[in-house]
Structure 1
Amino acid sequence: MKKEKQGTNIMRSSETSVVGRRISSVKLGLLRMTGKLSSWVAIAYIFRFVSSKLFFYAVIGIFSLQAAWFATSFYYPMLFDEKFHFDLAQAFTDKWLPFLTNESAGIDYYRDLANESGLLYHFLLSLPLRFIQLFTDSLMVQVVLLRYTNILLVISGLFVFAHLLRKANIPQGAVNLGLLVFAGLPMTTYVAATINYDNAIFLLFPVFVWSCASVLAFKKGTRIKHLLILISVGCAASLMKYTFLPIFLAGVLLTAGILIKRHGFKNLLSGYKKEFNQKYNIASKITLWLLGIVATGLIIVFCSVYVKNIIIYGSPSPKCEKTLSTQVCLKNEIFQRNYTSRQTVDERTPMPLADYVIFHWFKSMTLGFGYVAVNTEEGAKGPAPLAIIYSAIGFGFVVLLFIFAVGYRYIPRNDYMSAALVLSICTIVALLLYNTRSYYAYNEVFANQARYLIYVLPLFLSLGVYLANVLLKEARIAKIMLLGVCFYILSQGGGMLSYLVRSEPNWYLPNAKVRDVNTELKDSISPLISK
């Protein structure tokens, strides 16, 4: 307990409390005599600034500006599935329920939309799209504004992550630096600027973690409210992306198991029953009624999609050929790719499981955050990433693993941290199992993309910074040097810089002004960055 308290307060230790009050007069005298007081004070001010709210807002601003640059400048579609998400949002603009039929949508070449499990994102995205279409018919204006909408989702997620990490006893300075590294990964701002349901999950994931921890607190007067939030967020995220289902299930099982162990099943039911029957003020009643209505509606939609699919097709998300004819399914490019690959699976020899996991999957899920991959007028392109940032990402993940291996005992022990770690690990394991199963079904690699882990990064990066700070203890000079190295690396290809330096005119929207401005910007910035 003593070690944990010491670790929690380390970012506010002697470095940040230096200017006066906590320094003995003897120490001040010694520092003056050796001429080191000014440098010590400067170091303390640097740590104080890094740990401030101002620095946090600066990180949010840096992230926002980069994402806005991508959204305003880059060719449509950015990611290969951006058009898919826009078209489905467009299909909902004349509907008031989150359901589609293959015939009414008119876009059945995407897949069996009548039994699709992840349409809530597109239904909700259609709401701002309807408003935008009142003022413009321009496709590019609509796309750019929906990209901004997705950026707002991710920025909101960053605020929720920061709140969650502080509740988990991660100091503000560690949160700030973790999010700075997050903003400096080339892929994060690129994904945030696209029309994609991963951006909605980036917001809902920390909310779901927070709701699990809040339910575990079993605080009188808020038990039912937090339970309704947990159910609502879990259902909503699962209805946006099928792969959230195992995370939802893990969160429910984790929360229920811990509550029963702590309070006993009978006491648990009694606590909820008493709270249900107690008298509430008007504001609390309205809040609970609204949450109850939202939760009920989402449960109905959840059951009408997943429970129906399980009963009829034996799977929560059935394959296209189970619900439609193969001829119809072959209209879809992804199904066509998988179908062709399945016919020739015996012609390829699969690699051993260990080789696949270590040398392919892990590599893709780490170094992938430094890849530069875009769609252009001439098709998809993936030029070589910048050497410094790419090497730093690979080395950084190895260092992060080492830090966790050495400093795990300093990880704060509380419900918020436990929920965040367990659900983040469940996310990684679920994706690994899904990708591994897919690989051995086709003996070919499909959809191994680092962006699917984007919503576990803020936790691991911030926790890694915190543990590194604890392990370095009072080594102020070493911390300053590491901070300087971090800033230098980010200046050599972090975030949008990797894309800007590697960009060509056809990467951008077909607008002369957009292309001219970005070409001039590239010519100005490129000489300052090592290739």
Structure 2
Amino acid sequence: MCHSLSINPGARVSTFTTAVDRASTAVQRALASWWCFGIIVGVFALSATLLAVAGADHFLYDEDYHFGIVQVYTHQWLPFIDQGNKYKGLGDISRTGSYLYHYIVSFPVRLVQALGGDARAQLVVARLCSVAFLSASFIWFRSLIIELGASKAIANVSLAVFAAVPITSAVAATVNYDSLTILFTALFLWQAVRIWKAAELRFPDLLAIAAVGCFGSLTKYTFLPVFVGTAVLLLIVLIIRTRRRTVRFSWGYGTPRFWIWGAAALIGVALFVERYVVNLLLFRSPQPDCAKLHPVSFCLSYGPWGRNYALEHQFSGASPSPGRVLYYLFQDWIPGNLWSLRYVGTSTHATLGSAATAALIDLAAAITIFLLAIGIGWLLRRRGMLVPFVAVAVYVAALFAVNLSDFDKMNVPVGVQGRYLLPFLPLAICCAGMVLARALDALYARPATLKVIVVIALVIAMTQGAGALTYFASADDAWYAAGGPLVDFTRFLHAVANKLLIGG
């Protein structure tokens, strides 16, 4: 007797669903792995290196200015410049608080000089230092994000999205202090969160955060609000916890960490006092205006100062009002920061990227802001999250206040650039990812599959100008330093990038 063989449709669906769940779980494990993180950093570093080596001279973001200061430092061993009225075109570099990047980079550059390298070789080496600084920041951002309670998969995906922002690769390939500032931001906030969460307060950890905070402030003066805001928050909380005896204190005297970080803190604090405290005492400003130290004719040779000077004399000034503040915020500040996230190229050849890239950045920004808005309460309840929240809030408030003040003086939006937000972009992306992951876990029975779908959507979106693709898609031979195999390869990348771009 023969029996017909039948297959239960429900069993087939169950088998398929199980297979999908297993595949999604495997993908999540892969995304959380060290080798995935290594690929993200490797691809980012290689693309930025290609830009640094092949790109023509005079990148955007004031590269000529920053490289000019680096070259000044190659002629002296100490970081103190006796400028007088020398070095025209650089503004004041004798009392500026933003000098540590230039001083550090001057050492590999002077080594190239000693080996007979020409100006182009020196520029490339300086650019590669920036690539190294910003690439290293990924390590500390990953540690910080995990310290805040995010999964390793979210940490890796967040950093991949950060690397995909067109301006990130461009800044990394440029002689510019932003790369080192981003590294110090990641390292400083990682240390601050660890101190916040620690059951034992160790003196070497306080020395370490003091050293990093001082060095970060000396890299770029805009780090000052982050340093001061975070330090005040930690000081208040630690005093309260010490009095309540909810945290133990240990000196750690005699340990290698004590002596190493003690020496670093001593140097950092001394340099911080020499620059910022002395500036406050002598000029009543941590970052005195060029005209307080030099004749106006000298300061006019520095492009940004001359531009601001002319604009201020063309406009009588305006008093800030609620309507003017809102107008500036939504008409200039937010749009300006968004469009400049894709502003790449050289001072003579620049691009904003494709319309598809612009649309994706605007959409991503809107989704990120929405997720942060609905999840802010849950995020702040997570242990340690208050530290970066305060740092970001103080920094953004200070940045907006300075930009608004300039707008009221000149009636023109100046200094509005998305690269100033790069030090905190990984945190914003990560927090938005944490809120999204929590929502998927709560709303769906199989969140792993949906999370993988989100990652696939991100990968597809990255074909539309992510990373250095925006540069390669628009670049022609004039964007590069010379011919040869390297430029032949960039031509190939140009063709590939335009094939990927919608409308390319």
TM over 0.5: yes
Tell me whether 178-187 or 467-476 shows the greater mean CA deviation: 467-476
Structure 1 letter corresponding to 2:275: V
TM superposition shift of 1:131: 2.1
CA contact (8 A) 1:205 1:455 kept: yes
In structure 2, the CA distance between the partners of 1:362 and 1:496, relative to structure 1 (3 Å rule), is: same
TM superposition shift of 1:208: 1.1
* 2:33 pairs with 1:79: no
Q: Deviations over 1:330-368 (max 9, x none)?
A: 221221111111110139999821011122211222332
Structure 1 letter corresponding to 2:108: P
Percent of pairs with identical residues: 25
In structure 2, the CA distance between the partners of 1:233 and 1:524, relative to structure 1 (3 Å rule), is: closer
The residue that corresponds to 2:274 in the other structure is: 304
The residue that corresponds to 2:233 in the other structure is: 254
TM superposition shift of 1:113: 2.0
* 2:422 pairs with 1:468: no
Flag structure 1 segments of 5+ consecutive residues without an equivalent. Answer: 1-28
Alpha-carbon distance in structure 2 between the residues aligned to 1:472 and 1:290? 45
CA contact (8 A) 1:31 1:37 kept: no
Alpha-carbon distance in structure 1 between the residues aligned to 2:202 and 2:95? 34
The residue that corresponds to 2:209 in the other structure is: 230
* 2:418 pairs with 1:450: yes
Structure 2 letter corresponding to 1:48: R
Q: Deviations over 1:116-157 (max 9, x none)?
A: 221122111112222222223211112112211111111111
The residue that corresponds to 1:389 in the other structure is: 357
Tell me whether 325-334 or 252-261 shows the greater mean CA deviation: 325-334
The residue that corresponds to 1:294 in the other structure is: 264
TM superposition shift of 1:524: 4.2
In structure 2, the CA distance between the partners of 1:465 and 1:509, relative to structure 1 (3 Å rule), is: same
Flag structure 2 segments of 5+ consecutive residues without an equivalent. Answer: 1-9
Structure 2 letter corresponding to 1:502: S
Q: Deviations over 1:277-325 (max 9, x none)?
A: x764xxx1x3322322221122122111111111111111111111211
The residue that corresponds to 1:20 in the other structure is: none
1:95 to 76, 81, 84: 76
* 2:411 pairs with 1:432: no
The residue that corresponds to 2:51 in the other structure is: 70
* 2:139 pairs with 1:169: no
CA contact (8 A) 1:169 1:412 kept: no
In structure 2, the CA distance between the partners of 1:525 and 1:119, relative to structure 1 (3 Å rule), is: closer
* 2:342 pairs with 1:370: yes
In structure 2, the CA distance between the partners of 1:334 and 1:34, relative to structure 1 (3 Å rule), is: closer
Structure 1 letter corresponding to 2:282: I
TM superposition shift of 1:476: 4.3
Alpha-carbon distance in structure 2 between the residues aligned to 1:260 and 1:80? 42
TM superposition shift of 1:218: 5.5
In structure 2, the CA distance between the partners of 1:490 and 1:328, relative to structure 1 (3 Å rule), is: same
Q: Deviations over 1:86-132 (max 9, x none)?
A: 121121123222110114x9414311222222112211111222222
In structure 2, the CA distance between the partners of 1:347 and 1:407, relative to structure 1 (3 Å rule), is: closer
The residue that corresponds to 1:142 in the other structure is: 122
Structure 2 letter corresponding to 1:183: A
In structure 2, the CA distance between the partners of 1:39 and 1:106, relative to structure 1 (3 Å rule), is: same
Structure 2 letter corresponding to 1:78: F
With the length of structure 1 as denominator, give the TM-score of the two structures: 0.86
Alpha-carbon distance in structure 1 between the residues aligned to 2:184 and 2:352? 33
TM superposition shift of 1:195: 1.1
Alpha-carbon distance in structure 1 between the residues aligned to 2:135 and 2:484? 30
CA contact (8 A) 2:21 2:449 kept: no
In the TM superposition, 1:148-227 aligns within 5 A as 148-217=128-197, 219-220=199-200, 223-227=202-206
The DSSP-based 3-state class of the residue aligned with 2:316 is helix
In structure 2, the CA distance between the partners of 1:239 and 1:34, relative to structure 1 (3 Å rule), is: closer
* 2:476 pairs with 1:496: no
TM superposition shift of 1:214: 3.2
Alpha-carbon distance in structure 1 between the residues aligned to 2:367 and 2:393? 18
The DSSP-based 3-state class of the residue aligned with 1:102 is coil
Tell me whether 297-306 or 206-215 shows the greater mean CA deviation: 206-215
The DSSP-based 3-state class of the residue aligned with 2:87 is coil
TM superposition shift of 1:253: 0.4
Structure 1 letter corresponding to 2:433: V
Cα RMSD (Å) of the superposition? 2.5
Tell me whether 471-480 or 31-40 shows the greater mean CA deviation: 31-40
1:244 to 223, 243, 253: 223
CA contact (8 A) 1:501 1:526 kept: yes
Alpha-carbon distance in structure 1 between the residues aligned to 2:497 and 2:353? 16
How many residues get paired? Answer: 488
CA contact (8 A) 1:185 1:495 kept: yes
In structure 2, the CA distance between the partners of 1:214 and 1:46, relative to structure 1 (3 Å rule), is: closer
* 2:18 pairs with 1:37: yes
The residue that corresponds to 1:6 in the other structure is: none
Alpha-carbon distance in structure 2 between the residues aligned to 1:58 and 1:424? 28
Alpha-carbon distance in structure 1 between the residues aligned to 2:319 and 2:287? 29
The DSSP-based 3-state class of the residue aligned with 1:96 is coil
TM superposition shift of 1:67: 0.8
TM superposition shift of 1:415: 4.8
Alpha-carbon distance in structure 2 between the residues aligned to 1:140 and 1:96? 22
CA contact (8 A) 1:508 1:514 kept: no
CA contact (8 A) 1:102 1:108 kept: no
TM superposition shift of 1:526: 2.0
TM superposition shift of 1:217: 4.3
With the length of structure 2 as denominator, give the TM-score of the two structures: 0.90
Alpha-carbon distance in structure 1 between the residues aligned to 2:375 and 2:481? 47
CA contact (8 A) 2:195 2:205 kept: yes
CA contact (8 A) 1:100 1:113 kept: yes
Alpha-carbon distance in structure 1 between the residues aligned to 2:16 and 2:263? 67
